[in-house]
Amino acid sequence: MKRSCLTLILLFMVIVSGANTSITDSTIPEQIKEYHFDTDSAINEYLSVLTAEEKEKSDRYFEGGYWLILIEFLVVLIIAWVFLSLGLSKWIKRIVFKFKNVNVRNLFYTIFYFLFAYLLSFPLNIYVSFFREHRYGLSNMNFGEWLTEDLIGLVLLLIAGSLLIMALYIAIRKVQKNWWIWGSGVLTLFLILTIFIAPVFISPLFNEYKPLEEGKIKDEILSMARANGVPAKNVYQFDASKQSNRISANVSGIGSTIRISLNDNLLNQCSLEEIKAVMAHELGHYVLNHIYEMIIYFSIIIFIGFAFINWVFKKAIAKYGKKWKIDGLSDIGGLPLFILLFSFYFFIATPVTNNIIRSNEVEADYFGLNTAQEPDGFASVAMKLSTYRKINPGKFEEFIFFDHPSGKSRVTVAMQWKSEHLE
Ligand SMILES: [Zn+2]
């Protein structure tokens, strides 16, 4: 686990270096100065909206998230240890091997794996998504509501996850040597299918979606949508306030299920200028085909990940296969190791995945500014989002840990846009 130690040190350095950064990257074109708009002081004015206390709180919440990436990986490691070294895997295998059909065995082994993994990670899960969220005032759910949603998630995982893994093991048995090429194809297809059905079958399990309420807000949003070729029937609102006070909107689905959804917190807590700025950003994701771009990027990441698993798994089995009673890749008893390697790969790839997502977010930001022409709306929303996203991180810290631009980056871009479009 030398690499984990290294990551820890890296994390620590980033957190320390993030503490003292200042605004430097602003160049004001000469003609702008004639309009008496000082970009730097406009940026500072926005950044000072957050009180020192609020900033400290949001920094603490966000930086805690860096450690959680590591801790969540360590929990997967503990789960693999319980299964392989403590013998839970052997015990489950004895039960599922009463079935004759190999696919049925694999299906039941996987269901057992997910159930035990859920139980073993429950203390961390309850801390991260219930107690921690309440401590920072970010959740509106009582324990019963939280647990209900969490169990719905578990049922979805049991159904979809075990079918996916059964299909993966079919690929492993049928093509053997090149299983990882076919396996990454299976996972990518599964990803596409999940994105396709999510807005229709998964999201409605947690929230009620309906067409936008009539009024000025709807007219303005749909006018921007029409100007960019997005059909009006693809814009929805949903009741996220039952879960939290966070403002958000998103683009989901593919092809016939693609849609933009904005939540009721955005509608209730924000001005028309702010809502327009957010929705123009979401239109950017839609118009720039970011979902399709993501699928391509992530299929490549999965492909490399499976090649990595194929390489390490064989080495690990050659050394510990007898001790762990794993015969080879096609043995379902190797699933805890398979998932551990997959988690390790994604843990190490965190900066890569964050950069892919963030680069699309930056594109959508520019699209949004140009479309809504509401730099102040955009800057003030960026400040509202900064109640739970560190406002002013170091450059390196933002590069590694941020999947969206920081508040400071967004306010800077918005004010520079404003300074160059003042009339
Ligand atoms: Zn976005």
What are 57-89's pLDDT values in tens digits?
Answer: 999 999 999 999 999 999 999 999 999 999 999
Strand positions, DSSP E, 202-269: 209-211, 235-238, 249-252, 259-263
- For residue 82, what pLDDT is reported? 96
Distance 331 CA to ligand 1 centre (A): 41
Burial 242-273 (b: 16+ CB within 10 A, else e): ebbebbebebbbbeeebbbbbbbbbbebbeeb
**Residue (of 47, 48, 41, 22) closest to 419 by Cα position:** 41
| CA 168 to ligand 1 center in whole angstroms | 32
- Look-up: residue for tokens 């593919």? 254
Please say whether the beta carbons of 203 and 209 come within 8 A. Answer: yes
Distance 162 CA to ligand 1 centre (A): 31
Distance from Cα 100 to the centre of ligand 1, integer Å: 48
SS3 313: helix
Give the distance (Å) from ligand 1 centre to CA of residue 407: 13
Predicted local distance difference test score (pLDDT) of residue 387? 82
Kindly give the distance from the C-alpha atom of residue 285 to the centroid of ligand 1, in angstroms, as a whole number.
Answer: 7
Whole-number Å distance, alpha carbon 352 to ligand 1 midpoint, is 17
119 alpha carbon – ligand 1 mean position (Å): 33
pLDDT score recorded for residue 386? 86
Distance 353 CA to ligand 1 centre (A): 15
Q: How much distance in Å is there from the Cα of 386 to the middle of ligand 1? A: 15
| Cα 281 to ligand 1 centre (Å) | 6
Ligand 1 mean position, distance from CA 44 (Å): 24
Centre of ligand 1 from the C-alpha of residue 355, in Å: 13
Ligand 1 centroid to residue 356 C-alpha, Å: 12
Report residue 233 as tokens. Answer: 């029937």
pTM of the entire structure? 0.86
Centroid of ligand 1 to alpha carbon of 82 (angstroms): 39
Terminal CA-to-CA distance of the chain, rounded, Å?
59
Taking 3-state DSSP, the helix, strand and coil percentages for the chain, each rounded to the nearest 5, stand at 75, 5, 20
Residues 267-302: tens digit of each pLDDT: 999 999 999 999 999 999 999 999 999 999 999 999
| C-alpha–C-alpha distance, residues 423 and 402, integer Å | 34
Q: Quick one: which of 239, 258, 252, 249 has its CA closest to 277?
A: 249
Between the CA of 250 and the centroid of ligand 1 the distance, in Å, is 7
Q: How far is the CA of 379 from the centre of ligand 1 (A)?
A: 14
pLDDT average per 10 residues of sequence, the chain (423 residues): 35 32 38 66 92 92 95 96 94 93 96 97 96 94 96 96 95 91 95 94 94 90 92 89 92 90 93 95 94 96 96 93 90 95 96 96 97 95 90 94 95 95 77
CA nearest neighbour of 374 among 224, 204, 170, 212:
224
CB-based contacts of 197: which residues, under 8 Å, 6+ apart?
A: 257
Distances (CA, A) of 157 to 161, 165, 245: 5, 11, 26
What is the secondary structure of 130-183 as a DSSP string?
A: IIHHHHTT-----HHHHHHHHHHHHHHIIIIIHHHHHHHHHHHHHHGGGHHHHH
Residue 209 region by backbone torsions, left for phi larger than 0, else alpha for psi between -120 and 50, else beta? beta
CB of 299 within 8 A of CB of 403? Answer: no
Ligand 1 centroid–CA 55 distance in Å is 22
pLDDT attached to residue 423: 67
- The Å distance, Cα 363 to ligand 1 centre, comes to 9
Question: How far, in Å, is the centroid of ligand 1 from the Cα of 369?
Answer: 13
Distance 9 CA to ligand 1 centre (A): 31
CA dist., res. 329 & res. 49, Å (int): 55
Q: What are phi and psi of 360, to 5 degrees?
A: -70, -35
